[in-house]
Structure 1
Amino acid sequence: MHITERGAGYPVIFCHGFPHTGYIWHRQLAAVAAAGYHAIAPDLRGYGRTGPKDGPDAYTNLAVLADLLGLLDDIGAEQAVFVGLDFGAALVWEASLRAPERVAGVIVLNNPYAPRPPRAPTQLWAEAARRHFLHMDYFQKTGPADAELGANPREFLARVYYALSGDYHYLDTWRYPAEGTGYLDVLPDAPALPWSWLSVEELDVLAREFDRTGFSGGLGWYRALDRNWELTAEYADAKVGVPAYFVYGERDTDMEGFSGRDPLGVLRANSTDLRAVTEIAGAGHLLQLERTEQVDGLIVEYLRDLVPGGAGQRYSAASSG
């Protein structure tokens, strides 16, 4: 596992989604380190400089959580605060269920916790794909998406980041039929960079990584979601008990189209120590880039609550065994 780290003190682990690497958090690492914490952003399995894995269980949350707990052991930490977005959000929610003793708290962006659905996810997506294009269904078949996205990573990244931002309405991609349609067919053309929230240099860093690796590792996470569903049967009725903060963009597509009819009500009903829910006006999915200063301020504020000893507190060594 490749990590980027800054600062010293209590560990804060940032978990990214698709199509990102740990670099997507580089602004937050600087802010959190400046506040006196040990900020760590891994390239999660299959992304960046953390190599791809083989096998049907390679990209499950259970497997990736083992990587993260191994990281805690390696730095000698009993616990950490986990920050997550997108797939990283689902990962830290599951960490709070599977290993609450290692989770001092979670700060989640845009992807609220919800109980396990009664049916496997791909069944729901296949039904939706009979009505319109849905990337989550399109990504299930190995080959077409891997080739399409990998043909020009920089163009794909620019177009999908723009589409997911508050500057566009992502659910407009649902206007297209699924039959014979690829992802680039439904994504809007992106305006020329730099944008108000993303520089040419930042996109170049991300594009170089995906030029080198392709997108198959990240797509493996989509293809593992049914397996995640199977592996979480014992947590079907579980509630999140660790301290939790939730921040979301007013224009986030997950909140609008992928998290049910009442995502905040469901979150509140299933998190027993939910300390704050904050909406950020006008922002979309890439919250930490679109509203960096506001997000950084909230994360540091929440860390001061979650780590009572203060920013400079050293973490205790993990127990052996």
Structure 2
Amino acid sequence: MLDTGDIRMHVAEQGQGYPVIFCHGFPHTWFMWHHQLDAVAAAGYRAIAPDLRGYGRTEIPDNVESYTNEAVIGDLLALLDDIGAERAVFVGLDFGAQLVWELALRAPERVAAVAVLNNPFSPRPPRPPSAFWTKAAERHFLHLSYFQPPGVADAELAADPRGFLARVYYSLSGEYHYLDTWKNPPGIGYLDALPQAPALPWPWLSQEEFDILAADFEQTGFTGGLNWYRNLDRNWELTADYAEAKVSVPTYFLYGENDPDMEGFSGRDPLATLRANVVDLREVVEIPGAGHLVQLERPDAVNSFLLGALKGLDLS
């Protein structure tokens, strides 16, 4: 447990050496990275995966405004200070990817490199995010809009944590086309929009792994994670100074062929946008057949990608 000066944060770590910090998304915990912690630690690095604020055993502030990227970046910088590290390599997926991209803009001197999965960098849009999703949500179900009113999604998901997690993990995987949830009308709940999940175990997720992930959300509910969605516009407001900024740190990007963020949430040509706005983009890798949870679906491929990136960096 780490006191960041603002919250108490739970951190899982393994190995010794140069720090590599893994940042998860929604609805995840540090455990989403357990395959990568094993591999990176075995290769001689200090693999660190925090439960980001609002998740797992980390503190869950009551105030919605406490979940901005700026606040969570403060947690990550406090983590660096706590371990006595000037810099680290940061790995991110989903909200963790957005966090890592913004960290690279706000504090590049603390970032040795970034390795991002599935969520490519794109410049700050001219309008707040809600301007885009509100219009879409008038036509079909869209979780970005459904998650905004405090208490609504919180109650639905907390009433059936295991059912929700199984459905959302399956729907985000390469075995399902997540954007089919858009075929549902507005005004329904998320569980009604998501497909039924096949019985566990799955080829890429064991019953034991699922139980570990579900146990945390059975204790905490989902409000902490949902509050990240409720700050998307606030994050936009807080990044006005970075509207024209490009990512300058060494960057590695990997994505699943069937990732829904690449297909439906990252613009018309996400790779072209990435290449135009990341100055030192060293590698782009596609994993055939994989979806959003690529680090669980294809752990060997992700581990090979990460270890190759780490080997290619001057981390002395």
Superposition TM-score, scaled by structure 2 size: 0.96
Alignment counterpart, residue 128 of structure 2, candidates 120, 131, 145: 120
SS of the counterpart of 1:260? coil
Whole-Å Cα distance in 2 between the matches of residues 50 and 122 of structure 1? Answer: 28
Q: Deviations over 1:225-248 (max 9, x none)?
A: 110000000100100000000000
Written as runs of structure 1 = structure 2, the 5 A alignment for 1:161-310 is 161-179=169-187, 181-309=188-316
1:316 — aligned with what?
none
Structure 2 counterpart of 1:24, from 28, 32, 41: 32
Which residue in 1 is equivalent to 2:81?
A: 73
Task: Check the 8 A contact 2:92/2:116 in 1, yes or no.
Answer: yes
Q: How far has the Cα of 1:57 moved from its partner?
A: 2.7
Distance of 1:31 and 1:298 partners within structure 2? 11
What value does the CA root-mean-square deviation take over the aligned residues? 0.7
Moved over 6 A (4+): none
d(CA) in 2 for partners of 1:300, 1:274:
16
Q: Which runs of 5+ in 1 are unaligned?
A: 310-321
Alignment match of 1:159 (pick from 164, 167, 176): 167
Paired amino acid for 1:65? I
Secondary structure, counterpart of 2:67 in structure 1: coil
Supply the AA of the counterpart residue of 2:79: L
What CA distance in whole angstroms lies between the structure 2 residues aligned with 1:231 and 1:269? Answer: 23
Q: Equivalents in 2 of 1:49, 1:286: separation in Å?
A: 22
Match of 2:65 among 34, 40, 57: 57
Q: Secondary structure at the match of 2:54?
A: coil
CA contact (8 A) 2:24 2:52 kept: yes
Amino acid in structure 2 at the alignment position of 1:145: A
Q: State the one-letter code of the partner of 1:201.
A: E
- Deviation string 1:151-190 (CA, Å, 9 cap, x unpaired) is 11111101000000000000000001112x0000010000
Give the 3-state SS of the residue equivalent to 2:22 in structure 1. Answer: strand
- Contact kept, 8 Å, 2:128 with 2:236, in 1: the verdict is yes
Deviations 1:201-253 (A, max 9, x none): 00100111000000000000000111000000010010000000000000000
Instruction: Kindly indicate whether structure 1 or structure 2 has the higher relative contact order, using CA contacts under 8 Å at least 6 residues apart.
Output: 1
| Corresponding letter in the other structure for 1:274 | L
TM-superposed CA distance for 1:308, in Å, is 4.3
* CA distance 1:259–1:163, shift in 2 (3 Å): same
Q: In the TM superposition, what whole-angstrom CA distance separates every residue of 1:21-45 from its partner, at most 9, and x where no partner exists?
A: 0111011000000000000000000
1:287 Cα shift? 0.5
In structure 2, the gaps of 5 or more residues are: 1-8
Other-structure match for 1:319: none
TM-score (norm 1): 0.95
Q: Deviations over 1:113-149 (max 9, x none)?
A: 0000111111211100011000000000111100011
